[in-house]
Amino acid sequence: MPKYLHIVLATGLRQEFTYLPLTASDSVPAPTIGLRVRVAFGRSERVGLIVGMSDATTFDANKIKPVIDYLDSTNLLPPALWQLGLWAAEYYQYPLGDALMHLLPAKLRQAKPNQLVQLNWTLADIDPDFGRAHKQQALWQQLQGLAPAFNLDQLKKQNIKPSQLKPFIEKQWLSTSQPQPQTVRLQLSQQPLDLNAEQAAVVAHLASAHHSFSCHLINGVTGSGKTEVYLQAMADVLEKGQRILLLVPEIGLTPQLLQRLEARFNNRVLALHSGLTEHQRLNAWQQANLGQADIIIGTRSALFTPIPKLGLIIIDEEHDQAYKQQEGFRYHGRDLAIKRAADAHIPIVLGSATPSLESLANVSRGRFQQWLLTQRAGGASNQRYEVIDLRNQPQQAGISQQLKDMVGIQLELGHQVLLMLNRRGFAPSLQCQSCGQTAQCPACDANMTLHRRPPRLHCHHCEHQQPVYLHCPQCNSHQLKPLGQGTERTEEQLQSLFPNTPVYRIDRDTTRNKGSLETMLAQVHAGGPCLLLGTQMLAKGHHFPKVTLAAILDADASLFSSDFRGPEKLAQLLVQTAGRAGRENIPGTAVIQTYQADHPTIDLLVTKGYNAFAQQELASRQQSGLPPLGHMALFHAQAKDANHAFTLLHWLAQQVQDPTLAHLTRSLLMFGPMPAFMARRAHFYRAQLQLQHPNRKRLQQLLQQLCARLDQHPGARKIRWSLDIDPQELG
Ligand code: ADP
Ligand code: ZN
Ligand code: ZN
């Protein structure tokens, strides 16, 4: 029995706390690393995790409090996830307690006794005397019908709550045990397709790649049959009795993938999506942990699901920004999934038609194996690009005459058309015609978006909403005019341009209600000619067999982004949108409307394709030492007073120049402190300090030193600061 327990809590502090263990007895298990404990912390009770034990302490032993209790009898996190949590906390310089707690479902982060009720109950073979406890007697008799053992499902069918069993357990008339993981067996419910040579090569290779770590990038044009490759690789894994984790950017946006999984396999599929309640999430977590599902599909955080006998991880649309958590624990789901696969000695597959430059760089370095799928599967031909130069073109509804004619022809032919405009709302702003002022958010350095349904001015950065002005707050003029095009406005205008054609608008506003996206998609699939108008949601993995024309209405918005990833993101959006066209036997056309028709990014994409663009972009990143060829970290600070945020980062910049750190800062590039792109958001002034280093290890060591100094700095406590390692967005 150790004398002291080292415990971490989710306090945001990079610190361990020392407590005394409980006195050992029959009913109290010995503490182990990883066990959840309840402790008194300040004036409240908190949940903590034991991360270490020792027999000596530097604290005053008399002041160390005992833990209140152990919340579980064994560690909840399996070793693989515990390791991953430790690693991620260190890599992302995130407080260990917060990182490890993040791996648990929210319900298990509360200081309550174990709520895991997924147990097997076994009845003792006795005939107790209940005396006058008639209710208990009745319950006992009901349980006899389930004898000798039962599980939660059976209990539910009898309308019995697990809590009702407590008295029996206390008297030891009933014992509990964790169910054993079930075995996995392939259950195909649909014949797999015959693969083409490119597909077959990947599946065959993966089948031989079991039991060792390897990372595979399936770089396949949209519609080239990546999903079919996943399904067949999964079948091989199931056949070997192992389970699969499939990560997707957003499940709600890709109901088709789930449908295809369920059509192909009779195996148990568990979907972890944002619509689950905390309670459902906890249940799902347990089911996975107990091996009650064979295929786990989920978004970023599903990567932390405990899965016994995990045999393969697949990351669909691996380039998607949604894999990076943008606040709090700013981890990258793809990178952690790769780490998890490496620890588990299993293969991992990343798939995309527009791979991230990170993954392509890993292919060049020989770390990933690349599989090119160059042809559309099932007879569909690759789409043709057309660039429409908006200069000197008459436009209606943000649509040039040329595009309008093309749309008209496709509708005549009975086809469907997809139009992408990446701005929701009616208009990006409301402008005064007398003084030129636009409606500014009172809390942000940003315009408020004008919405019509319902009418309001809405800041998309802080969610501030207010009634639409009737006159200009600056000059009182009534001459207010919507400025620019949003999806609501374009929808209205499209409806009058094509009065006999249904227009489906798909953006966050029209899909907020549960099931509304599915309903619209079903109508599109069942229906005849129509116009699909939407934001980038539309570019995400949907399969629209009848769409023959996909157009990007405004490619310019992201062309001049100040973020170095701007061109990459634009290229991905363009290619993904274009990929929605002509996925079946009718050839498709992808149209790009732009005022920059001769821009090199667009030209390269259209003439040579995404991979040529990516190679050129990588070369230019290399020249400037930018990721993925150099490494980057970004310190953010925000405060109500602009000076405070800057003062802290200036102090930090001085630390960087400390001669004792010179061995780490040679070849370091530092930019800032500088204002974030949006210098004020939700009333906070935001500043940032950007660090770039060719050597990841050195940068890590430097960041560790800087975080330790920040923790000690009294000024840092009053200011919200955070560190983003491998940032995906610069501000
Ligand atoms: P991706 O995931 O690359 O977009 P999918 O797997 O969705 O591609 O395939 C696109 C279409 O082609 C689907 O309708 C799919 O059923 C079909 N398909 C895929 N592979 C084959 C194949 N080998 N033979 C015939 N059809 C295929
Ligand atoms: Zn005005
Ligand atoms: Zn705002």
Encoding tokens for residue 343?
A: 């620890």
Give the lowest-confidence range in 239-248, 607-616, 712-721: 712-721
Nearest protein Cα to ligand 1, atom 6: 225
pLDDT at position 19, please? 93
Other beta carbons within 10 Å of 134: 9
Q: Where are the domains of the chain?
A: 4-109, 120-177, 197-378, 380-423+485-620, 631-725
Give the lowest-confidence range in 252-256, 398-402, 641-645: 252-256
Ligand 1 within 6 A of 226 CB?
Answer: yes
pLDDT at position 532, please? 94
* Sequence-distant contacts of 463-469: CB under 8 A, at least 24 apart: 464/682, 468/430, 469/430, 469/439
If one looks up domain 380-423+485-620 in CATH, what number appears?
3.40.50.300
Other beta carbons within 10 Å of 509: 16
Is the pLDDT assigned to residue 381 strictly greater than 70? no
Ligand 1 within 6 A of 378 CB?
Answer: yes
List residues bridging with 313 in a β-sheet: 245, 348
Nearest protein Cα to ligand 1, atom 20: 225
Is the pLDDT assigned to residue 542 strictly greater than 80? no
- Asked if 438 contacts 431 with a C-beta cutoff of 8 angstroms, the reply is yes
Model confidence at 379, pLDDT cuts 50, 70, 90, reads low
pLDDT at position 411, please? 94
- Phi, psi dihedral angles at 158 (to 5 degrees): -90, 5
544 versus 632: which is more confidently predicted? 632
Across the range 304-322, mean pLDDT stands at 95
Per-residue pLDDT tens over the stretch 383-393: 788 999 999 88
Per-residue pLDDT tens over the stretch 105-124: 998 888 776 555 556 677 77
Is the pLDDT assigned to residue 210 strictly greater than 70? yes
Nearest ligand to residue 432 Cα: 2
d(CA 249, CA 316): 7
Q: From the CA of 377, how far away is ligand 1's center (Å)? A: 5
Ligand 1 within 6 A of 223 CB?
Answer: yes
Ligand 1 within 6 A of 597 CB?
Answer: no
Ligand 1 within 6 A of 228 CB?
Answer: yes
**Highest mean pLDDT (candidates 2-16, 91-105, 393-407):** 91-105
657 versus 163: which is more confidently predicted? 657
Ligand 1 within 6 A of 227 CB?
Answer: yes
Q: From the CA of 475, how far away is ligand 2's center (Å)? A: 4
Per-residue pLDDT tens over the stretch 406-465: 999 999 999 999 999 989 999 999 999 999 999 999 999 999 999 998 999 999 999 999
d(CA 568, CA 2): 54
| Cis peptide bond N-terminal to 628, omega within 30 | yes
Residue 89's alpha-carbon distances to 92, 94, 105, 555, in angstroms, are 5, 5, 17, 38
Model confidence at 283, pLDDT cuts 50, 70, 90, reads confident
Atom of ligand 1 nearest to the CA of 196: 23
d(CA 204, CA 159): 49
Ligand 1 within 6 A of 252 CB?
Answer: no
pLDDT at position 345, please? 96
Residue 330's alpha-carbon distances to 90, 327, 429, 722, in angstroms, are 12, 6, 31, 9
Model confidence at 232, pLDDT cuts 50, 70, 90, reads very high
720 versus 112: which is more confidently predicted? 720
Into which CATH architecture does domain 197-378 fall?
A: 3-Layer(aba) Sandwich (3.40)
* Sequence-distant contacts of 390-399: CB under 8 A, at least 24 apart: 390/593, 390/594, 390/595, 390/597, 391/595, 391/597, 396/493, 396/497, 397/485, 397/489, 397/490, 397/493, 397/494, 397/497, 398/485, 398/490, 398/493, 398/553, 398/554, 398/593, 399/494, 399/497, 399/553, 399/593
Mark the residues whose beta carbon lies below 5 A from ion ligand 2: 432, 434-435, 437, 472, 474-475, 477
Helices (H), 455-504: 487-497
Ligand 1 within 6 A of 222 CB?
Answer: yes
Pick the closest to residue 306 from 32, 64, 631, 84 (CA basis).
Answer: 84
List residues bridging with 110 in a β-sheet: none
Single-letter code of the amino acid located at 713:
H
Q: From the CA of 258, how far away is ligand 1's center (Å)? A: 15
Pick the closest to residue 224 from 379, 436, 376, 5 (CA basis).
Answer: 376
Q: From the CA of 218, how far away is ligand 2's center (Å)? A: 54
The domain 631-725 is placed in CATH, from the list 3.40.50.150, 1.10.8.50, 3.40.50.970, 3.30.70.360, at 3.30.70.360
What's the angle, vertex CA 359, arms to CA 354 and CA 362, rounded to 5?
Answer: 145
Atom of ligand 1 nearest to the CA of 545: 14
Q: From the CA of 586, how far away is ligand 1's center (Å)? A: 15
Three-class DSSP category at 296 = strand
Ligand 1 within 6 A of 219 CB?
Answer: no
Whether 631-725 and 4-109 are alike in CATH topology: the answer is: no
Q: To test ligand 1's pocket by mutation, which of 194, 227, 350 has the most ligand atoms within 8 angstroms of CB?
A: 227
Q: From the CA of 227, how far away is ligand 3's center (Å)? A: 40
Nearest ligand to residue 447 Cα: 3
Q: Which fold has domain 4-109?
A: GIY-YIG endonuclease (3.40.1440)
Q: From the CA of 443, how far away is ligand 3's center (Å)? A: 5
What average pLDDT does the structure give for the chain? Answer: 89
Nearest ligand to residue 443 Cα: 3
Nearest protein Cα to ligand 1, atom 23: 195
Q: To test ligand 1's pocket by mutation, which of 199, 218, 226, 228 has the most ligand atoms within 8 angstroms of CB?
A: 228
Nearest protein Cα to ligand 1, atom 9: 225
Nearest protein Cα to ligand 1, atom 19: 225
Per-residue pLDDT tens over the stretch 55-101: 888 888 788 899 998 888 778 899 999 999 999 999 999 999 999 99
d(CA 606, CA 622): 23
Which residue's structure tokens are 């009053």?
Answer: 718
Is the pLDDT assigned to residue 579 strictly greater than 70? yes
Residue 194's alpha-carbon distances to 191, 272, 376, in angstroms, are 9, 30, 14
Q: Tell me how far the alpha carbon of residue 724 is from its chain's centroid.
A: 16
**Highest mean pLDDT (candidates 11-15, 312-316, 588-592):** 312-316
Per-residue pLDDT tens over the stretch 18-59: 999 988 776 677 888 999 999 999 888 999 999 999 988 888
Nearest protein Cα to ligand 1, atom 26: 378
Nearest ligand to residue 678 Cα: 3
What's the angle, vertex CA 153, arms to CA 151 and CA 158, rounded to 5?
Answer: 100
Pairing of β 295-298 and β 243-247 = parallel
Ligand 1 within 6 A of 377 CB?
Answer: yes
Residue 598's alpha-carbon distances to 467, 568, 591, in angstroms, are 41, 17, 14
pLDDT at position 50, please? 95
Other beta carbons within 10 Å of 288: 22
- Phi, psi dihedral angles at 628 (to 5 degrees): -85, 10
d(CA 163, CA 143): 14
Which residue's structure tokens are 């560190």?
Answer: 723
pLDDT at position 380, please? 64
Pick the closest to residue 263 from 187, 172, 203, 197 (CA basis).
Answer: 187
Model confidence at 178, pLDDT cuts 50, 70, 90, reads low
Give the lowest-confidence range in 113-117, 336-340, 657-661: 113-117
- Asked if 196 contacts 372 with a C-beta cutoff of 8 angstroms, the reply is no
Nearest protein Cα to ligand 1, atom 25: 378
Which strands make up the sheet holding 455-458, listed edge to edge?
449-452, 455-458, 465-466
Model confidence at 477, pLDDT cuts 50, 70, 90, reads very high
Is the pLDDT assigned to residue 511 strictly greater than 80? yes
Ligand 1 within 6 A of 1 CB?
Answer: no
Nearest protein Cα to ligand 1, atom 27: 378
- Phi, psi dihedral angles at 639 (to 5 degrees): -155, 160
Give the lowest-confidence range in 154-158, 711-715, 717-721, 724-728: 154-158
